[in-house]
Amino acid sequence: MSLITWSDQLAVGIEEIDQQHQKLVQLINGLHNHMLAGDASEIMAKVLDRVIQYTGFHFETEEQLMLRYDYPNSETHKHEHSDLVNTAVTLQQKLHSGNAHITMETMHFLQDWLQHHILGSDKMLADFLKTKGLH
C-alpha cells in the first residue's frame, strides 16, 4: 500500500528534480511498507537512514541550482530543507537508541511535508529555473 502516489500534479517540470522527487516518494513508501509490516526497529532505522541520505543528496541538488541561478527565495527554501533534516535526524537518533518507533503520525508528517514542499516551494523554484532555460 502506497502512502504517496506520484502523479503529474507533483511534477515541477524540471527533469532532474522530478526524478529525485519520484525516488523520495519510493523511499518514503518503502519506509511506510516496513512500518505496516511491523518490521524491527533496526530495519526501520536503516530504511530511514536511506531516506535521510537521499533527501540530503536531493536538497544539495536543489541548493546548487539555487546558487548557480541566484534564486531570490533561496534562504527561505534552504530553511525548509534544514527544518526537515533536523526533524528527521532527531527521529533517526531516537530510533538508533531505541527510544522511538516510526508511527503513522511520522509517516503522515513525511507525506504532508513532501507534498506541501513540492507543491509550494519546489514549484516556485522550478518556475524560476524554467525562466533560466532549465527543463
Q: What is the mean pLDDT of each run of 10 residues along the chain (135 residues)?
A: 91 97 95 91 88 95 98 97 91 83 87 92 97 95
Q: Output the pLDDT for position 96.
A: 82
What's the CATH code of the domain at 98? 1.20.120.50
In a domain, 32, yes or no: yes
Q: How many domains does the chain have?
A: 1
Q: Output the pLDDT for position 45.
A: 86
Helix (H, G, I), strand (E, B) or coil at 13: coil
Q: Output the pLDDT for position 106.
A: 86
What domain range is 90 assigned to? 24-131
Q: Output the pLDDT for position 81.
A: 95
In a domain, 111, yes or no: yes
This prediction has a pTM of 0.93
Q: Does an H or E element contain 35, and which? A: helix 15-36
In a domain, 12, yes or no: no
Place of cell 532549465: 134
